[in-house]
Amino acid sequence: MEIGQRMVATAVAVMSFAVFLGVVSADPDMLQDVCVADLASKVKVNGFPCKAAFNETDFFFDGLAKPGLTNNTLGSLVTAANVEKIPGLNTLGVSLSRIDYAPYGLNPPHTHPRATEIVFVLYGELHVGFITTGNVLVAKTIKAGEIFVFPRGLVHFQKNEQHTPAAVVAAFNSQLPGTQAIATALFAAKPTVPDDVLAKAFQIDAQLVEMIKAKVAPKS
Ligand SMILES: *[C@@H]1O[C@H](CO)[C@@H](O)[C@H](O)[C@H]1NC(C)=O
Ligand SMILES: *[C@@H]1O[C@H](CO)[C@@H](O)[C@H](O)[C@H]1NC(C)=O
Q: Is the beta carbon of 40 within 6 A of some atom in ligand 1?
A: no
Q: Cis (ω within 30 of 0) for the bond into 194? A: no
Q: How far is the CA of 67 from the centre of ligand 2 (A)?
A: 14
* Ligand 2 atom with the shortest distance to the CA of 71: 1
Provide the residue-wise pLDDT of the chain in tens; the chain has 220 residues: 566 666 566 555 655 554 554 555 689 999 999 999 999 999 999 999 999 999 999 999 999 999 999 999 999 999 999 999 999 999 999 999 999 999 999 999 999 999 999 999 999 999 999 999 999 999 999 999 999 999 999 999 999 999 999 999 999 999 999 999 999 999 999 999 999 999 999 999 999 999 999 999 754 4
Are the beta carbons of 61 and 85 closer than 8 angstroms? yes
Measuring CA to CA, which residue among 163, 131, 133, 174 is closest to residue 150? 131
User: Which residues are CB-neighbours of 171 under 8 A, at least 6 positions away?
Assistant: 94, 95, 96, 117, 118, 119, 120
Q: Is the beta carbon of 135 within 6 A of some atom in ligand 2?
A: no
Distance CA 199, CA 54 (A): 52
Q: Is the beta carbon of 73 within 6 A of some atom in ligand 2?
A: no
Distance CA 73, CA 218 (A): 10
Question: What ranges do the domains of the chain cover?
Answer: 184-216
Q: How far is the CA of 65 from the centre of ligand 1 (A)?
A: 22
Q: Is the beta carbon of 60 within 6 A of some atom in ligand 1?
A: no
Q: Is the beta carbon of 52 within 6 A of some atom in ligand 1?
A: no
Are the beta carbons of 176 and 95 closer than 8 angstroms? yes
